[in-house]
Amino acid sequence: MSDVSRANFGSKIGAILAAAGSAVGLGNIWRFPYQTGNDGGAAFILIYIVCILCFGIPVMIAEFTIGRHSRSNTARAYQILAPGTQWKWVGRWGVLTGFLILSYYAVVAGWTLEYFLQAAGNTFIGKTPEEFAASFTSFTDNLWRPVFWLILFMFATHFIIVKGVQQGIERSAKILMPILFVLLIIMAICSILLPGSGPGLEFLLKPDFSKVNSGVLLSAMGQTFYSLSLGMGCLCTYASYFQSDTNLTKTALNVASIDSLVAILAGLIIFPAAFSVGIQPDAGPSLVFITLPNVLTQAFAGLPWLTYILSTAFYLLLALAALTSTISMHEVVTVYLHEEFKMSRRKAAWLVTSMCSIIGILCALSMGVGKEYTIFGMNLFDVFDFLTAKLMLPLGGFFISIFTGWYLDKKILHDELNSGGHLPLFVYKAIVFILRVVAPIGIGFVFINELEIL
Ligand code: PHE
């Protein structure tokens, strides 16, 4: 095992921020608003919050337990905790999921670089909402630009992975997360103050349950796993670097709160602005990219220098937030190949970077020049998103809860949860009950409901 993978996060706050760095990313600022827009607004958000409490936090605690106790990559972790059994497939499933997510996630991460460049080149000022929409389409329709940015992003991730992750992740998360947070708050205020933002706020805060169907339940559940980086062993891998007295329950609560807060703030930025400038909330993956430049240009119409600074800073931070997430996915796959196939870390990283780039290129092209090639009516990019977020991650979460709730020695679970502070017995019992019963039945119910609809 390499030195890097056995290093520890130097501080407890560093551990929280590193896990939050993985969790907070495009899932919160790009995916959450467009899923909310597609699925009817406030009712979706309420279901999402219920999913975080019922599945998200307990499965995160389970992943932390598995990772810290085994101190190993996610596939090996199951072999250590359940030797000679088939549980190792849960870990391998996670590695495959991470690999697939990284491949198409890097496409959107690449878009953030294009928008950073546009913001830094001062091209936003004076554009109308229609022009922002048209310029997004002409960018994604372009044969080369999205591919170029995707590859650049994959290389940036690769570079950090081969340099060793802990130092970089911990340090950058400590500085970047708070700045991103402050910027989001400023932008949310700007958006709410735009004329005509009222219906957007209503869309976010006033639930309309008539729009809820099994598809909405599946979306909210998928978004929970996606946004919290759960169900694929990512947080399990990070927990293998936690100190032995890091309080797992508190860390999970902190990470889930930070992550949800960022998502809600993103909603508060996007919807008031979208309604204010007449952009449909169900515009899909392009929603954030056509709405955000409007927020900054309209809110400071008389102060172009402020638009310039805030938009450049925003896209830079968004790219960096995406980077801390791509690093965490890349790390899961690289450490797996490195440790299980006796490959050097460098070679493993190269393999991941090149394979993901190739698949990423196909996903990027499927949004533009290859639009007409669809599978079940979806382009390749959407197929990857559907397959990973709505099927693979929740399925991973299902087995992780069953493993921890039913199979794992309860003494291990109790000791891990108890370290770093005394866990009240009723909290421990509640966690076990949720992992044994509530999470598996809940996830199973959502799946079965959706299948009946198909
Ligand atoms: N949670 C990340 C985000 O919100 C995405 C991610 C998913 C990262 C799964 C790792 C694993 O952007």
DSSP per-residue string spanning 391-413: IIHHHHHHHHHHIIIIIS-HHHH
Give the pLDDT confidence score for residue 10 in this predicted structure: 64
Mean pLDDT score, 342-370: 94
Give the pLDDT confidence score for residue 103 in this predicted structure: 97
Identify the burial level of 70 via C-beta atoms within 10 angstroms of its C-beta, where 0-12 means exposed, 13-18 middle and 19 or more buried. Answer: buried
Give helix then strand counts, H and E, for the chain. Answer: 23, 0
For residue 11, pLDDT beyond 80:
no
Give the pLDDT confidence score for residue 452 in this predicted structure: 65
Give the pLDDT confidence score for residue 6 in this predicted structure: 45
Mean pLDDT score, 219-245: 92
* Residue pLDDT, tens place only, 97-121: 999 999 999 999 999 999 999 999 9
Give the pLDDT confidence score for residue 446 in this predicted structure: 86
**CATH code 1.10.4160.10 for 12-450:** yes
**186-204 CB burial, b ≥16 within 10 A, e <16:** ebbebbbebeebeebbebb
* Residue pLDDT, tens place only, 163-217: 865 666 667 677 778 888 898 999 899 889 988 899 999 999 999 888 888 889 9
Percent of the chain clearing pLDDT 70 (strictly above):
94
* Cβ-Cβ contacts under 8 Å for 419 (sequence gap 6 or more): 244, 245, 246, 247, 248
Nearest atom in ligand 1 to 259's CA: 4
For residue 1, pLDDT beyond 50:
no
Q: Is 378 helix (H, G, I), strand (E, B) or coil?
A: strand
For residue 9, pLDDT beyond 70:
no
Residue from 59, 103, 226, 391 to probe ligand 1 pocket by mutation (most atoms less than 8 Å from CB): 226
- State the pLDDT confidence band at 4, using cuts at 50, 70 and 90: very low
| Residues paired with residue 378 on neighbouring β-strands, in sequence order | 375
Distance 429 CA to ligand 1 centre (A): 29
Give the pLDDT confidence score for residue 292 in this predicted structure: 86
* Residue pLDDT, tens place only, 271-312: 998 898 888 888 888 898 988 888 888 777 778 888 898 889
Look at 4 and 194; give whichever has higher pLDDT: 194
- State the pLDDT confidence band at 72, using cuts at 50, 70 and 90: confident
Residue from 96, 259, 318, 325 to probe ligand 1 pocket by mutation (most atoms less than 8 Å from CB): 325
Nearest atom in ligand 1 to 27's CA: 4
For residue 5, pLDDT beyond 60:
no
Report whether residue 318 contacts ligand 1, using a CB cutoff of 6 Å: no
* Residue pLDDT, tens place only, 41-50: 999 999 999 9
Give the pLDDT confidence score for residue 389 in this predicted structure: 92
Mean pLDDT score, 116-140: 91
Least confident of 60-64, 123-127, 257-261, 331-335: 123-127
For residue 374, pLDDT beyond 90:
no
Residue 353's alpha-carbon distances to 49, 232, 247, 373, 412, in angstroms, are: 34, 18, 34, 25, 36
**Residue 361: CB atoms within 10 Å:** 18
- State the pLDDT confidence band at 238, using cuts at 50, 70 and 90: confident
Give the pLDDT confidence score for residue 255 in this predicted structure: 94
Distance 228 CA to ligand 1 centre (A): 6
Closest CA to 431 of 53, 66, 46, 77: 53
Residue 31 is classified by DSSP as I
Give the pLDDT confidence score for residue 199 in this predicted structure: 94
C-alpha–C-alpha distance, residues 119 and 345, integer Å: 36
Give the pLDDT confidence score for residue 168 in this predicted structure: 64
Report whether residue 256 contacts ligand 1, using a CB cutoff of 6 Å: no
For residue 3, pLDDT beyond 50:
no
C-alpha–C-alpha distance, residues 11 and 274, integer Å: 40
**126-145 CB burial, b ≥16 within 10 A, e <16:** ebebeebbebbeebbeeeeb
Distance 333 CA to ligand 1 centre (A): 14
Q: Is 205 helix (H, G, I), strand (E, B) or coil?
A: helix
Which residue, by CA, sits nearest to atom 9 of ligand 1? 229
Q: What angle do CA 58, 64, 66 make, to 5 degrees?
A: 105
Residue from 227, 323, 387, 395 to probe ligand 1 pocket by mutation (most atoms less than 8 Å from CB): 227
Give the pLDDT confidence score for residue 7 in this predicted structure: 57
Which residue, by CA, sits nearest to atom 11 of ligand 1? 229
Whole-number average pLDDT of the chain: 89
C-alpha–C-alpha distance, residues 409 and 87, integer Å: 14
Which residue, by CA, sits nearest to atom 8 of ligand 1? 229
Percent of the chain clearing pLDDT 90 (strictly above):
61
For residue 454, pLDDT beyond 70:
no
> Which range scores top for mean pLDDT: 8-12, 76-80, 206-210, 304-308?
76-80
Report whether residue 234 contacts ligand 1, using a CB cutoff of 6 Å: yes
Q: DSSP per residue over 226-247, as a string? A: HHTT-SSSHHHHHHTTS-TT--
Give the pLDDT confidence score for residue 75 in this predicted structure: 87
Mean pLDDT score, 235-241: 89
Is residue 227 within 8 Å of residue 28, measured between CB atoms? yes
Is residue 360 within 8 Å of residue 148, measured between CB atoms? no
- pTM for the model stands at 0.92
Q: Can you give the residue ranges of every domain in the chain? A: 12-450
For residue 453, pLDDT beyond 60:
no
Residue 143 is classified by DSSP as S
